[in-house]
Structure 1
């Protein structure tokens, strides 16, 4: 999911440089949503692992 957020961010940057404001805004908004969903899932995963008593695998 983080991969798609980065892809949308790159598309937004390229579209912004080329002057496509609407596309850039939409892609940037989509990247933000995906990034925050990724962060929420990461926090849930970390909390779930902490509740089980296991640390991260190193």
Structure 2
């Protein structure tokens, strides 16, 4: 998911440099959304990993 966020961020930068402001804004919004979804999922799985590891060790 982070890969897709990076791809959309690059598309937004290139589109912005070429003057396609509508495409740049859309790609930037998608990149931002994907990044925040990635961060939320990362934190959830990190917490789950600690909880499961603690139960396995105990």
Q: What do you get for the CA RMSD once the two structures are aligned?
A: 0.9
2:2 counterpart residue number: 2
Which ranges in structure 2 are unaligned for 5 or more consecutive residues? none
1:19 counterpart residue number: 19
Instruction: Trace 1:23-38 onto structure 2 (pairs within 5 A).
Output: 23-38=23-38
Q: How many residues align?
A: 54
Q: Deviations over 1:4-58 (max 9, x none)?
A: 000000000000000000000000000000000000000000000111125xxxx
Question: Larger % of helix: which?
Answer: 2
Structure 1 ranges of 4+ moved more than 6 A: none
Distance, in Å, in 2 between the alignment partners of 1:38 and 1:25 is 20
Distance, in Å, in 2 between the alignment partners of 1:36 and 1:53 is 26
Distance, in Å, in 1 between the alignment partners of 2:5 and 2:53 is 31
Larger radius of gyration: 2
